[in-house]
Amino acid sequence: MINAFAKPYSQPLACQAGLDILKKGGNAADAAVAVAATLNVTEPSSTGIGGDCFCLYYDAKTKKVGALNGSGRSPAKLTLEYVHINAATVPGAAAGWVDTINWFGSGKLSLIEILQPAIDLAEKGFPVSEISSSMWKNEQDLLEKTCY
């Protein structure tokens, strides 16, 4: 199972965060949140707290599938006449991570334990992956024009 879990991620540090959570007794939902949070730090163009979160979770014990819609919410009084191309919602990812842990998590690990790998990388630093480095280098001119 660990090898199958390890393959789909472009960021090895995120993959390691998920594996560490599994080794501590967490389940796939706990590990998925750890991976998402770590990607938020190490490869923010892939995922982040400024986006949405969707989860389909299969519980092998109950043989049931659960779903979570962590998309952002729009204002309660919003009408179609006010919606246009630039409309935005409140990001739902952070709440989606919490809901994923509460609804589908193992119950063995706290939110802080699940987020700790991402917190450690954010505080202590990490080597930037070749993918992120290449993307940032390719967009350097645009970043300099829009950020300064």
pLDDT tens-digit readout, 92-144: 899 999 999 999 999 999 999 999 999 999 999 999 888 788 888 888 888 78
CA 106 to chain CA centroid, nearest Å: 18
Q: What is the pLDDT of residues 19-57, one digit of tens each?
A: 999 999 999 999 999 999 999 999 887 788 888 889 999
- Whether the predicted model's global pTM rises above the 0.85 cut: no
> Element (H or E) spanning 100, and its range?
helix 93-104
Asked if 105 and 26 touch (Cβ cutoff 8 Å), the reply is: yes
Q: Which of 87, 69, 86 lies closest to 78 in space, CA to CA?
A: 87
CA distance 28 to 44: 22
Per the structure, the count of domains in the chain is 1
Q: What is the mean pLDDT of residues 57-73?
A: 90
pLDDT at 6: 47
What pLDDT is attached to residue 107?
97
Range of the domain at 88: 2-147
What pLDDT sits at residue 135? 82
